[in-house]
Amino acid sequence: MAVGFSPKHEQIIELENLSKNEFIVIAQVVVKQLEWKPSYICETGFIAYTKFSMSSYGEELKVNIEGNTATIKSECAGSQMFDWGKNKDNVENFISRFNDIKNSFTKEELEEKYKELSLSFSPVDEDILNTAPLNTKQKITSFFSIFIPTEGYTITPIILNLNILVFAVMAIMGVSIFEPENQDILNWGGNFRPTTLAGEWWRLFTCCFIHIGIFHLLMNMYALVSIGVLLEPLMGKTRFLFAYVATGIIASLSSLGWNELIISAGASGAIFGMYGMFLALLTTNHIEKSARDAMRTSTIIFVGYNLLNGLKPGIDNAAHIGGLLSGMAIGYAFLPSLKQPNSKNIKSISIGAITVAVVVAIIIVFNSVSNDIGKYQEKMTEFTALEEKAVKVYSLPETATNEEILNSLNNDGLKNWEKCMALISEIQTYDLPADIQERNKALKTYCEMRIECYQLIEKAITENTDQYQPMIDSCNVRIERLINSLQQ
């Protein structure tokens, strides 16, 4: 079983008594018998793709002839981490079938078939034969090479390294690498509706570089590299980077509109955007037909699996879907500039139009999505400040006179508890989750108990009697129980 970016298996065989031309002819017969889809072919080799089945996800098979040997390599065309032995099976099936039939033809038959086959030859292009369409994947020769920018693979490692750097700095500053606290994620730029809609719009961007634990980071970075090596060389540096940022922001907006009290973070929204853009290209002729058929199947499987996995609690599937759909839209929007790569005007117009669309989306979301949660938080901050003033009576020195106590009860206590009641009444008009609404009811009861207790204390002082003390004690016990309940 092969593992890597991407899994592959390679084997070299001797041509023995066959010429290069004879080998190519027999190899093409094998491809036809195995029902693989031929793609590029020239006099020194060819590329073909296996069909999708239970035993294949559409791998790319390359045959390259040099001297008296032929290199047969099968490589996963999609985002698989494991190939479960498929690539080895492809190579072995090819070699086995080749050996079975290689003596079935006469020299004359092979020569005649070569004349027919040569009519479909493309010009010899070692770059195509040795690398395309999985060209950039060939540059990832070791674990460390995924972090190093190179031609066709520039923006992806920069984004990868930036995500890792942010995570490392967070860890150095004391954030847990396994289960970071919600407040830590929020402090470092997580996307949270009440905070983001309250004016901290930059969280739409920063949340794309914050990860909730090391496993979250590793899975996202694997997916980023898997799609980056395929998509970046097709899109170019500028389009790839712009699309990554744009889809990341749209994914954050989707999360913002869907989730009320979830702190969202991670690069997965933007990564789904890259997969969406790749899927869009795979429905066009920008990628050779046999290659896109193979890649489309494996990419759909990868995206479908991760969307289903996103149905689990705690996973922000709204961001995934928003990123995926926006990525597909941006992929189609960039298609005219991809067809005319030398036209800077078309690329600039595409980028400008997409920028306007993203800005409009931000304005719409910020003006249409309710931020009652944010208003609630502001009111609760105000509530806390009023409560601190209202309980100052309990901080009076033991030498305080009755007049000072009564003054504090009225001016610091009762007036501020009445203001707290007014805040709670206003909050009850907001569109809030059921658990917060229940908490507000409890807070209202808490304020009523405080007012009742203060009024009893005022009566006891004014009338100079202890007859209200049992009621005051009972009220304090009920207040303490309610406080404990609210804290839980």
Work out the percent of the chain whose per-residue pLDDT is above 90: 68
125 confidence band (pLDDT: 50, 70, 90): low
DSSP conformation class of 51: P
**pLDDT in the model for residue 121:** 85
- Is a pLDDT exceeding 90 seen at residue 7? no
Q: How far, in Å, are 386, 402, 411 from residue 392 at the CA level?
A: 10, 15, 10
Q: Is 44 helix (H, G, I), strand (E, B) or coil?
A: coil
In angstroms, rounded to a whole number, what is the distance separating the alpha carbons of residues 297 and 38? 17
Q: What is the mean pLDDT of residues 105-110?
A: 92
Give yes or no for a cis peptide into 6 (omega within 30° of 0): yes
DSSP line for 343-400: -HHHHHHHHHHHHHHHHHHHHHHHHHS--HHHHHHHHHHHHHHHHHHHTGGGGS-TT-
- Active site (catalytic) residues: 268, 320
Q: Which of 266-280, 296-310, 365-379, 452-466 has the lowest mean pLDDT?
A: 296-310
Q: What is the mean pLDDT of residues 197-220?
A: 95
**pLDDT in the model for residue 329:** 97
- Is a pLDDT exceeding 90 seen at residue 388? yes
Whose CA is closest to 77, among 305, 301, 333, 325? 301
Q: What is the mean pLDDT of residues 396-400?
A: 91
In angstroms, rounded to a whole number, what is the distance separating the alpha carbons of residues 118 and 110? 12
The beta-carbon contacts of 35-39 under 8 Å, at least 24 apart in sequence, are 36/61, 37/290, 37/293, 37/294, 38/290, 39/288, 39/289, 39/290, 39/291
**pLDDT in the model for residue 374:** 86
- Is a pLDDT exceeding 60 seen at residue 4? no
Q: What is the mean pLDDT of residues 175-197?
A: 94
Q: pLDDT, tens digit, for every residue of 39-78? A: 888 888 999 988 776 656 678 899 999 999 999 999 887 7
Q: Which of 164-168, 298-302, 335-339, 341-345 has the highest mean pLDDT?
A: 164-168
Q: What is the mean pLDDT of the chain?
A: 89
**β partners of residue 9:** 74
Residues whose CB falls within 8 Å of the CB of residue 384, separated by 6 or more in sequence, listed in order: none
Can you give the pTM of this predicted structure?
A: 0.80
Q: Check if the beta carbon of residue 57 is closer than 8 Å to that of residue 301.
A: yes
Q: Phi/psi of residue 56, each to 5°?
A: -155, 145
